[in-house]
Amino acid sequence: MANKQKGEVDLRVGSKVYTLRYSTNAICALEAAFDDDVQSIAKRFEDAEKGVRMSDVRHFFHAALIDNHPEIGLDEAGLIITDAGIDVAMSAASDAFQSMFAPNRAGEPPKGKRTAAG
């Protein structure tokens, strides 16, 4: 079951549930796959209506599986997208991606952000 405090999102496909999450390792995998920084990758998917390659969609989705489903390879990630439907799969992945950068529910900055102490 997804832990929303960790930015996890569950995706049910048939009888299986996949927990999507963009951890630091997942973001690094995206940067390596796209040979670009995370802000540029985010912009690419925000502008998806201008056109995005299916191989990019598959990499984006696969990265979200790395932490909770390391046994799933790139090709299997593509099959999951097909079975779920591209809109459903990308919606879940986008929700997880946005959660990675959102402040926690208590309104505090995400972990790792430091504030000046007096």
pLDDT at res. 113: 47
Per residue in 9-45, pLDDT (tens digit) is: 999 999 999 999 999 999 999 999 999 998 988 888 7
- 87 found inside a domain: yes
Is residue 111's pLDDT more than 70? no
Distances from the Cα of 29 to the Cα of 35, 41, 61, 89, angstroms: 10, 12, 11, 19
Is residue 117's pLDDT more than 60? no
- 109 found inside a domain: no
- 115 found inside a domain: no
79 Cα distance to chain centroid? 17
* 43 vs 85, residue with greater confidence: 85
Name the pTM for this structure. 0.80
Domain range for 41: 4-100
- 63 found inside a domain: yes
